[in-house]
Amino acid sequence: MSFGLSFWLSLLAVAGLGLIAYVGVAAAHLNYLFGIIIPYAAFATFIVGIIYRVLRWGARPVPFRIPTTGGQQKSLPWIQQNKIDNPSSTLGVVVRMALEVLLFRSLFRNMRTELRGGPTLSYASAKWLWIAGLAFHWTFLIILVRHLRFFLQPVPSVIAIIESLDAFFQVGAPLLYLTDVFFVLAVTYLLVRRLFIPTLRYISLPADYFPLFLILGIGVTGVLTRYFFKVNAVGVKELTMGLATLSPKVPEGIGVIFYIHLLLVSTLFAYFPFSKLTHMAGVFLSPTRNLANTNRAKQHVNPWNYPVKVHTYEEYEDDFREFMKDAGIPVEKE
């Protein structure tokens, strides 16, 4: 599929979702559908879908122990082992995985290869993808945690603390959250690099543009909801608490922008299990990262290991006995 088609199709899909929510609420007054039914359905799809995916992966055997080793192995006692990038213990694996999941260790290794005349190849530092990736994922998480205030009553103090830290600079009314700024910036960067780095644009599919537009749409509508349209927060909380306590109700007077935001969020939840976004769960199961490099020290069992046809020594000797005897190589049968 051409770049143009992938790009516009994805953009139009997200814009279309916005329009559907707008028309659905502002004109058709389907508040119950967009406020209650779709969010419930999306959330259920997410939970069931992601569990299904993880169970499906988990059911697949790991026939071979194939860690990618990023440092010195454990061998002779006087050789310093790299216990994290080449772990030989469970603790080492846990640390390696924690660095991978929390700090994107492998992405931190990234470098940019450049070819100059000569030819001369050089490898420049390239940390922007790592920085933007970290900023995007961490701000997303913090924003998600902050949103728990809509689903819990009373609001736990830990969420209040996160909110006050996030609004550290005390700018604007309502107070500006730093995470909102960095989130939108990071997603924009991820989109821009996909559009302007030729090789990256070449490998990109609608499945890459669509989630970016969707997430960007969520960010933008969220910002609009909070800072610009300043929708009725009490009403929103009534609705979300209704969802959380399984006694759904749709209060009047919530701005339509909120419903647009909610539909985009619902779409993300429902889309998640069917998409590349499952890397969130999948990374934990990656056999090149989550296995200790103890291949020769401990046996790793392949559940479907089966006997194979071999060329036995007896057959070999039968083929070459005379040659062997002539060369003075010992044989079993004279």
- Interface of this chain with another protein, residues 189 to 208, rule: CB under 8 A: 197-200, 202-208
Cα–Cα dist 127/130, whole Å:
5
Residue 95 burial (C-beta neighbours within 10 Å; 0-12, 13-18, 19+) = middle
Choose, by CB under 8 A, the member of 44, 48, 72, 168 that binds another protein: 72
Residues 130-169 that bind another protein (CB under 8 A): 133
Report yes or no: 251 and 229 within 8 Å, Cβ to Cβ. Answer: no
Structure tokens at 224: 């609009």
Cα–Cα dist 72/242, whole Å:
55
Using the rule CB under 8 A, give the single segment among 180-188, 239-247, 261-269, 326-334 that binds another protein: 326-334
Cα–Cα dist 71/107, whole Å:
16
Q: Which of 308, 298, 303, 306 is nearest to 62 (CA)?
A: 303
Using the rule CB under 8 A, give the single segment among 25-33, 71-79, 153-161, 253-261 that binds another protein: 71-79
Phi/psi of residue 249, nearest 5 degrees: -145, 155
Nearer to another protein, 53 or 237 (CB): 53
Cα–Cα dist 15/262, whole Å:
14
Nearer to another protein, 32 or 314 (CB): 314
Choose, by CB under 8 A, the member of 57, 138, 150, 227 that binds another protein: 57
71 part of the interface to another protein, by CB under 8 A: yes
Nearer to another protein, 202 or 252 (CB): 202
Nearer to another protein, 137 or 237 (CB): 137
* SS3 label, residue 121: strand
Cα–Cα dist 31/22, whole Å:
10
Choose, by CB under 8 A, the member of 74, 146, 226, 261 that binds another protein: 74
CB atoms inside a 10 Å sphere around CB 147:
13
- Shortest spacing between CB 76 and another protein, in angstroms: 6
Nearer to another protein, 71 or 248 (CB): 71
173 part of the interface to another protein, by CB under 8 A: no
Phi/psi of residue 111, nearest 5 degrees: -145, 160
Report yes or no: 151 and 244 within 8 Å, Cβ to Cβ. Answer: yes
188 part of the interface to another protein, by CB under 8 A: no
Nearer to another protein, 56 or 173 (CB): 56
Residues 108-127 that bind another protein (CB under 8 A): 109-113, 115, 118-121, 123
Structure tokens at 191: 């989109």
89 part of the interface to another protein, by CB under 8 A: no
- Shortest spacing between CB 230 and another protein, in angstroms: 35
Torsion of CA 217, 179, 99, 192, to 10 degrees: 40
Cα–Cα dist 71/276, whole Å:
29
Residues 17-46 that bind another protein (CB under 8 A): none
Using the rule CB under 8 A, give the single segment among 19-27, 81-89, 153-161, 252-260 that binds another protein: 81-89
- Shortest spacing between CB 153 and another protein, in angstroms: 37
Nearer to another protein, 154 or 198 (CB): 198
Choose, by CB under 8 A, the member of 23, 98, 144, 285 that binds another protein: 285
Using the rule CB under 8 A, give the single segment among 35-43, 248-256, 257-265, 284-292 that binds another protein: 284-292
Structure tokens at 194: 């996909």
Paired strand residues for 114? 122
Choose, by CB under 8 A, the member of 90, 173, 253, 328 that binds another protein: 328
Residues 286-305 that bind another protein (CB under 8 A): 286-289, 293-302, 304-305
Report yes or no: 324 and 317 within 8 Å, Cβ to Cβ. Answer: yes
